[in-house]
Structure 1
Amino acid sequence: MLGRAYIIFDTAIGRCGIAWGQSGIVGVQLPEAREIETRRRLFKLYPEARETRPTPNAEAAIEGIVAFLRGETVDFSDVTLDMGGIRVFDQRVYQITQRIPRGETLTYSEIAVRLGASGALRSVAQAVARNPFVVIVPCHRVLEAGGYADKMSPHGGLVSKRRLRSIEGAGSSANKTLLDVLLPVAPPRPPG
C-alpha cells in the first residue's frame, strides 16, 4: 500500500472515519451531523487518502472504536499509531493520556506536572485539542480544572468529551450537553 487510506464505518453513535498509512493510524474522525460532512472533514485532513479496505491494524482500531462506542471496555495497546508529524511534546501528552484508566480523569495541570513542566498547562490543552487519535488516545479523560468537559476536538465531530465519558459510564445523564440532547445516539446504519 502506498500513501494513506481511509474508510467510513458504522458505530452506535453514527458513521465514523479512520485514516491510516504504512506506519499506522493517522487519524480518527467521530461523526459529524451527516456522513458527507464526516467525509469532508477526513478529506480536508488527509486529502491524499483514498477509500479502501482496512489493513489488519486499521481493522483492529475500528473494532475497538465500535466496541468502545457501544460502552465496552477496550484495550487499544495493540493498535499502531503513526506519530510522524506529531510534535514531541504532544506525543508525551498522548502517552500519559493513554494510561488514564477508563472512568478516571486527569486535568491539564496534572498532566503538565507529570511531564515535569508544571507551567505548560496551555501547551497540554493545545496538545489535547490537536489529538488526531480520538478514542484511541482518550482525550475525553483530560479535563479542565473543575471537571469541565464540554469541549470538542476537530476530530470529535459533534461529539463532546462529556458524551464520550457518558458512553464509558463515567458521566451521569444529568451532565448531558445541549448537543447530546439535540443529537441522540443514532442506531447503526445497515451496510451497503
Structure 2
Amino acid sequence: MAGRGYAVFDTAIGRCGIVWGDAGISGVQLPEAREIETRRRLFRVFPDARELRPPAHVALTIEGIVAALRGQTCDFSNAMLDMSGISKFNQSVYAYTRAIPRGEIRLYHEVAAALRASGAVHSVAQALAKNPFMIIVPCHRVLEAAGAADKASQNGGVISKRRLLTIEGTRLSAAKTLLDVLLPLDPPRLRP
C-alpha cells in the first residue's frame, strides 16, 4: 500500500476515525460534534489519507476501539503504531501510558517520575496532549490531579477524559488534588 488510508466508524459515543499507513496506525480521532468535523480534523492532520477499507490488523483495532467505548476490556498491545516523527521522549510517555491498566489513573508527575524525568511534568502533559493514538494509548488515564478529568486531548473531539474514564468504570476521587499530592505535609494555613 502506498500512502495512508483512513476509515470512519460508528461507536457508542459517535463516529470515530482511524488513519494508517505501511508502518502502522498513524492516528485515531474521537468524535467531534458532527461527523464532518471529525473528517475535517483527519484531513487537516493527514491530508494525504484516502478513505479505504481497513486491512485486517486495523479492522481488529477498530473492533477493539468500538468494544472499549462500550465499556468492555480490550487489549491493544498488538496494535502497530507508526511512531515516525514522534520524539523519543513522547514515545516513552506513550509506552508507559499504554501499560496503565484499565480502571487505574496516574498523575502527570507520576509518569515523569516513572520515566526518570521528574522535572519534565510539563513535557509529559504536552506529550499526552499531542497523543495521536486515542484509546490505544489511553492518555485519559493520566490526569493533572485525580479529580481533574474534564479536559479533552487534541484528538479527543468533544469527549472529555472524565467521560472516557466513566465508560471504563473508573471512579475519581475529587478529594485528591494536585496540592494534596505535591504538598502533603504542609500546614493547613498554607493551603487555599
Q: How many Å apart are 1:145 and its aligned residue?
A: 2.7
Q: How far, CA to CA, are the matches of 2:120 and 2:154 in structure 1? A: 22
SS in structure 1 opposite 2:19? strand
**2:61 aligned partner:** 61
1:98 and 2:104 are equivalent in the alignment: no
Deviations 1:129-187 (A, max 9, x none): 00000000000000013431111112100000000000001147x9xxxxxxxxxxxxx
Q: How far, CA to CA, are the matches of 2:163 and 2:105 in structure 1? A: 14
**Any gaps of 5 or more consecutive residues in structure 1?**
175-192
1:33 and 2:33 are equivalent in the alignment: yes
User: Do 1:4 and 1:21's aligned partners in 2 also have CA atoms closer than 8 Å?
Assistant: yes
**2:24 aligned partner:** 24
1:5 and 2:1 are equivalent in the alignment: no
**Any gaps of 5 or more consecutive residues in structure 2?**
175-192
Output aligned runs, 1:153-192, within 5 Å: 153-171=153-171
Q: Max radius of gyration: which structure?
A: 2
Q: How far, CA to CA, are the matches of 2:171 and 2:10 in structure 1? A: 24
User: Do 1:162 and 1:171's aligned partners in 2 also have CA atoms closer than 8 Å?
Assistant: no
Please tell me the residue identity of whatever aligns with 1:91.
Answer: Q
Deviations 1:13-46 (A, max 9, x none): 1100000000100000000011000000000010
1:78 and 2:78 are equivalent in the alignment: yes
Deviations 1:30-80 (A, max 9, x none): 000110000000000100000000011211110000000010000001110
SS in structure 2 opposite 1:151? coil
> Scaled by the length of structure 1, what TM-score is found?
0.88
Q: RMSD in angstroms over aligned alpha carbons? A: 1.2
- Matched residues, number: 173
**2:109 aligned partner:** 109
Q: How far, CA to CA, are the matches of 2:72 and 2:65 in structure 1? A: 9
SS in structure 2 opposite 1:155? coil
Please tell me the residue identity of whatever aligns with 1:4.
Answer: R
Deviations 1:117-138 (A, max 9, x none): 1000000000000000000000
**2:135 aligned partner:** 135
State, as a whole percentage, how many aligned pairs show the same letter. 65
User: Do 1:10 and 1:66's aligned partners in 2 also have CA atoms closer than 8 Å?
Assistant: yes
Which structure exhibits the higher relative contact order, with contacts defined as CA atoms closer than 8 Å and separated by 6 or more residues? 1
User: Do 1:107 and 1:147's aligned partners in 2 also have CA atoms closer than 8 Å?
Assistant: no
